[in-house]
Amino acid sequence: MEKVKSDALEWALRALAQPFSVQIQLYPAGVMVADELAEDWGDAFEGVPNAATDIQQIEDMMMLKAGIIEFWTDDGLKRKPLWDEIRMMARTALLARDLSTDPPKMSSHTYIIQGHAVKLCD
């Protein structure tokens, strides 16, 4: 199986593979976690030319729901069956590459929430 080519892609896969209860802890309160997961995935995936089939399938699943608002809310992340499928696909991709399925470190991005910059520290 093709190795993951970037730390960002591995982080995104590990984040996507987690249950909802863990995913919401990877980002600061006040952000739309599903949207942030998709942003982090998109940024990481963009840097992967000729992605392996399993990685491309995750991208395809994410794109299926682009623009459908209820899919990108915290409630959607918790309840929509397609998110469970994405979680399973991400976990399978990690295991196929002998990569950890443990939660990644919290996101290190800076977020603007209600006019205040918030950066998580590990």
Question: Residue 8: how many CB atoms within 10 A of its CB?
Answer: 17
CB distance 97 to 1 below 8 Å: yes
pLDDT of residue 6: 81
The token duo for 63 is 């794109």
pLDDT of residue 48: 74
Residues of the chain with pLDDT under 50: 122
CB distance 85 to 61 below 8 Å: yes
User: Taking Cα atoms as reference points, which of 85, 96, 34, 97 lies closest to residue 57?
Assistant: 85
pTM given for the model: 0.85
pLDDT of residue 120: 56
Domain boundaries defined on the chain:
7-119
